[in-house]
Amino acid sequence: MFGSYLPILVHFVVVVVVAGAIMGLSAWVGVKRPSREKLSPYECGITPVGDARGRFSISFYLVGMLFILFDVEIAFLFPWAVVYRSLGWFGFIEMFLYIVILLAGYLYIWKKGALDWTR
Amino acid sequence: MAPLFYIFAVLAILAALSVVLQRTPVYSALSLIVVLCSLAVVYLLLGAEFLAVIQVIIYAGAIMVLFVLVIMLLNARQETPSDRSRLARWLGAPLLLVFLGELLFAVWERFPAATTRAAALPDAGPRAVGALLFRSYVLPFEVTSILILVAVLGAVVLAKKRL
């Protein structure tokens, strides 16, 4: 059973080794001549202004919450997809209803402009 | 299997300690992701494939977004040590040891080593879960969509300035 997950384990090991090698080598081989400019946080080349912990727009919250809700929806699609064939039309109509109900929610979000950043 | 279990169990415990001990909230949140992913591997080793995937999609994905949003919106800075009460300082560690001992004893009594095998568990793969969910529990599944719909409306009504 676990054998089919072996590629993920191999991938995980490769990720750890490569990331560790990159960070370890640059720490070991790299020349370090720190200066005030070099140690300042990098913000796309622009001089940083103030603390990163300012007040954030509520739009982030809205997008985050909507992501969570539709993520939960996706979680139900996953067990459905593996038994889809054995369920036949019954399964199709079942999921169709489910998606249609959630589509109403999506249309509501769209209509209210909740995903529109400037409103 | 056993070495993998020990690697990820130890990783989960270390990351959990990091969650508690970090002073910066974002570091705690990152450590929590490591805890959740390590637990997903442990579930996978127990044969609970569906639970493992859900752990990654819902917990490490969605719930973590919620935590990060709370950190952002509450404007959480570096944690300042509180004035610990004298009682908590002297009684905390012994009570913790008593509690852990109790827990260990209970688990030991309840589940002898011979029965804690993955083979004793029922099939918890996505196929089995899907067959149950879409055949026997159709109505609860459909009602879930209405629950999510209500949550969508709630999120928009709460966060939108003008509807």
ipTM (interface pTM): 0.72
Q: Is B50 in contact with B129 (CB distance < 8 Å)?
A: yes
CA–CA distance, B22 with B25 (Å, rounded to integer): 7
CA–CA distance, B52 with A75 (Å, rounded to integer): 12
Chain A residues whose CB is inside 8 A of the B52 CB are: none
Looking at the complex, report in whole angstroms how far the Cα of residue B79 sits from the nearest Cα belonging to chain A.
14
Could you give the domains of chain A?
Answer: 2-112 (1.20.58)
| Confidence label for A49 from pLDDT (cuts 50, 70 and 90) | confident
CATH level 2 (architecture), domain B1-80 = Up-down Bundle (1.20)
Coil, helix or strand at residue A18: helix
Q: Considering CB atoms only, which of A56, A65, A80 is closest to B72?
A: A56
Contacts of A41 (CB under 8 A, 6+ apart): A48, A52
pTM of the model: 0.76
Contacts of B58 (CB under 8 A, 6+ apart): A71, A72, A75
- A101 contacts B141? CB cut-off 8 A: no
Annotate B39-63 with DSSP letters as a single string.
HHHHHHHTT-HHHHHHIIIIIIIII
Q: What is the pLDDT of residues B123-132, one digit of tens each?
A: 767 788 888 8
How big is the CA angle at B116 (ends B96 and A6), to the nearest 5 degrees?
Answer: 105
For the cut 70, the answer to whether the pLDDT of residue A17 exceeds it is yes
User: Residues of chain B whose pLDDT is less than 70?
Assistant: 1, 76, 83-84, 112-122, 124, 163
- B156 contacts A86? CB cut-off 8 A: no
Domain boundaries, chain B: 1-80, 125-163
